[in-house]
Amino acid sequence: MAVVLLCNGYFVMKNNIKCAEKFVSNSNGEEVEIECIVLYSDRTDENKLKVEAYPMLGKNYSGRVLLNSYSSKETAGEMKIPLPGEHILVRGKFQIPKPATNPRCFHYRNYLMGKRVFMTGLCGNFKVIGSEGGLIWDLKRYTEKIRKEFFKDNLSHDPAIGGLIRGVVLGDKSNLDEETYDRFRLYGTAHILAVSGLHIGILVTIYRRAYRAHPSMFLTVVLVFALFFYGQVTRWSPSVFRAVTMSLIFVGAQFLKRDFDLLTALGISGIFAVGTNPGILLSLGFQMSYLAILGIGIGGSRLARWIEMFLQGKFAYLLGQEPIRKLSGWLGMFFGVQIVLTPFILQEFNYFTPFGIFMNLPIGILTGGIVSLGMLSMGFMTLGLGNIFPQVEKFMDVSLMCLGKILLRLHSLYLNGITGKNINIWLQRISPGAAFTTVIILLVMLALSETFYIICSRRKLISIVVSLCIVVMLGGVSYFVDRTEFDKASIVMVDVGQGDCLHVRSKGGSNMVFDGGGSKDKNLGKLVLLPYFLRNGVGKLDMACVTHRDTDHAKGLYDLRDIYKISCFVDGAYSGNLAEGEGMRVNVLWPVDDSRGASGEDNELSSVYRIDVDGVSVLVTGDIGIETEKELIKRYGNSEILKVDVLKVAHHGSRHSTSEEFLKAVNPKVAVIGVGKNNYGHPAGSIIDILDKNDIMTYRTDKNGAIGIWKENGSLKVCTMLEK
């Protein structure tokens, strides 16, 4: 049965991918009209909506489309939020979600596949043409109403605390500002802002105590209804799905008078989750939720016994036996989760937060209070008791505000004073690698498991060796799965959208970057460059160089240096030798002197770098134009210094740069263009034609994603994140 479910889920997912790709291919990038059935919708801005819907692509299609709907500011007030079950007619451009464009970085396509979304659409307003009926859709509409109304008045009164309460109770982070979320992340407590099993655990705990006092089928029915209702209100996040299915298995075991086994229930829950949506395996929420329960199921009881033995020996006279037993059980579960998740969090989020070990204890208790009150408040709202008992509802809201304020204050300590340096730099760590993380997690779970303890106590050497060999084998598999061709690259043109960023690294361990992209609206240093470096094993940069101060070249590096270790920052340079080390040399070719103006002040004064690294030579040209190219030819044309393997095409392929004369002087084998969505027509078709005419292999970040280049057996090798 389990195998059939998993296979069926896999083939359904493949069919969804195939249908979505066929639809997008047939639309050929043009606007098309499509009918959809709304599932969820959220207003993300005054004139923006995000709608998750089922597109009507055929009987065998069960995937979803994520619609980004925009309206003008003049018509924003008329923008109606569609309800679940409504049939809407939308006209827009549809595409397959983009995969990761930089090695080991955020994979948007996988993220959406975890939510059963296989296609995205950009559209204007929409037209409601009908509505689904029936009890299920009525329930979905009602739960969405509860979700949107919960704590709404308090949200407008105090957005910071209101947004925090909604985040803790509903997992809705849309009202949280970035600074508050970063504060929780730095303390290692950001997990409380995603709906977890804690919420369901509270419901089940209340049920167990009530059922123990007064066994009743009515209580069981109420619990089952509450589980489904809360799952629907929270939109069935992976952790909620896991907790609900495990709770239902518990109820079934109780009804059949059978023992409940945590790990068996976890396995059944995982089979149902993956069988209904194989893409959920790619979801970090799924991975962390199931890994946390594995930590409890495998190591929780042993840790609890060790803690109980310690507390009995030290504090038995003070606390008493029963309180120690209960405290030890709770601490065993807590540390079982922490000890397994810490390596995973370090691998995926590049932060090691020692404060989290201490903060999670009081935060967990406080969060439990917020969740309990929040769920009670939603129960009042659902049953319409607010009008009957307004004082009770007001008391709950005030209590939630107070608890939210305490929670916010606990995360407002000035940690920079503790560390004496930038807290981000102090906490961030490079990813240890998938193989290392896998081995550590498996060894921890092996060491804590009862089975391995019995094997060791009976000195079964063959079983011990086999167990350790399996761990090493799985670590090896993780190593080879995680490896990419970019690990060989001496030069990586990083995809930063409309802008330039060239990462240069030598086999001797030197790391430099030339330009870093930049945007007026986004902090690319934090969102793109920092994760790229940390997830690819670069803990610091030996040098960061800015060719000139245009936003799309310099701002990303200015943002990065505030949160990342950079040993030397070069903001514009004049001709001469800039750096030399093992396997790497950097020379500045332009500007020649300061008589023309300050280096890096404008496009024609961009610093031009020739870089030689492990046998590969590259020319970084900033945004110079044809006149500066002529100056470079005049000065260096009789030497070999302009001749390189790789040319970073100037000014993103503008028609005012990259003359045929300059290409003949440089004679590159490969040209790379840093470009994204823009209104300038970059790269110009004429420049692409000139590069093709001169038999130069051309790669561009908007089409190819990141571009890696290296020398192997005397030949130049190129890899890209996306197909050409």
Instruction: Classify residue 411 by its DSSP letter.
Output: T
Report the pLDDT averaged over residues 511-519. Answer: 96
Q: Of 422, 453, 483, which closes a domain?
A: 483
Reply yes or no on whether the pLDDT at 77 is more than 80.
no
Q: Of 132, 167, 190, which closes a domain?
A: 132
Domain-located, residue 229: no
**Structure confidence by residue, pLDDT tens digits, 298-343:** 998 899 999 888 888 777 777 778 888 888 888 888 888 888 988 9
Q: Of 106, 132, 158, which closes a domain?
A: 132
Do 612 and 492 fall within a single domain?
yes
| Most confidently modeled range among 176-185, 258-267, 494-503 | 494-503
**Contact, 559 vs 526, CB < 8 A?**
yes
Question: What is the domain range of residue 622?
Answer: 486-720
d(CA 436, CA 443): 11
**Structure confidence by residue, pLDDT tens digits, 434-462:** 999 999 999 999 999 988 889 998 889 99
Task: Check residue 325 and give its pLDDT.
Answer: 86
Do 683 and 712 fall within a single domain?
yes
Domain-located, residue 262: no
Do 552 and 661 fall within a single domain?
yes
Do 673 and 551 fall within a single domain?
yes
Domain count, the chain: 3
What is the CATH number for 498?
3.60.15.10
**Structure confidence by residue, pLDDT tens digits, 367-405:** 888 888 888 888 888 888 877 888 888 888 889 899 988
**Structure confidence by residue, pLDDT tens digits, 652-697:** 999 999 999 999 999 999 999 999 998 889 999 999 999 999 999 9
Do 542 and 679 fall within a single domain?
yes
Reply yes or no on whether the pLDDT at 480 is more than 90.
yes
Do 468 and 532 fall within a single domain?
no
Reply yes or no on whether the pLDDT at 268 is more than 50.
yes
Nearest partner of 280 among 84, 6, 1, 4, judged by Cα: 6
**Contact, 169 vs 371, CB < 8 A?**
yes
Task: Check residue 327 and give its pLDDT.
Answer: 85
Reply yes or no on whether the pLDDT at 187 is more than 50.
yes
Q: How confident is the model at residue 63 (pLDDT cuts 50, 70, 90)?
A: very high
**Contact, 592 vs 628, CB < 8 A?**
no
Instruction: Classify residue 202 by its DSSP letter.
Output: H
Beta bridge partners of 49: 43, 69
Place of tokens 């070249």: 553
Domain-located, residue 360: no
Do 475 and 508 fall within a single domain?
no
Do 581 and 438 fall within a single domain?
no
0.85 surpassed by pTM: yes
**Contact, 547 vs 607, CB < 8 A?**
yes
Place of tokens 């095409």: 649
Domain-located, residue 271: no
DSSP letters, 584-651, are EEEEEEE--SSSS--TTSSGGG--EEEEEETTEEEEE-TT--HHHHHHHHHHHTTSSTT--SEEE-GG
| One-letter identity of residue 289 | S
Task: Check residue 420 and give its pLDDT.
Answer: 43
What does R_g of the chain's alpha carbons equal in angstroms? 29
Q: How confident is the model at residue 46 (pLDDT cuts 50, 70, 90)?
A: confident
Do 457 and 534 fall within a single domain?
no
Place of tokens 């109420």: 222
Q: What percent of the chain has pLDDT over 70?
A: 95
Residue burial 308-323, b: 16+ Cβ < 10 Å; e: rest:
beebeeeeeeeeeeee
Domain-located, residue 151: no
User: Considering the chain, what is the average pLDDT of its residues?
Assistant: 89
Do 662 and 637 fall within a single domain?
yes
Least confident of 158-172, 220-234, 671-685: 158-172
Other Cβ atoms within 10 Å of 614 Cβ, number: 17
Domain-located, residue 687: yes
Do 502 and 621 fall within a single domain?
yes
What is the CATH number for 86?
2.40.50.140
Tell me, letter by letter, the H, E, C secondary structure of 325-390: HHHHHHHHHHHHHHHHHHHHHHHHHCECCHHHHHHHHHHHHHHHHHHHHHHHHHHHHHHCCCCCCH
Domain-located, residue 165: no
SS3 of residue 56 by DSSP: coil
Sign of CA dihedral 561, 562, 564, 565: positive
Do 550 and 455 fall within a single domain?
no
**Structure token digits, residue 429:** 């760590």
Q: What percent of the chain has pLDDT over 90?
A: 54
Domain-located, residue 178: no
Q: How confident is the model at residue 565 (pLDDT cuts 50, 70, 90)?
A: very high
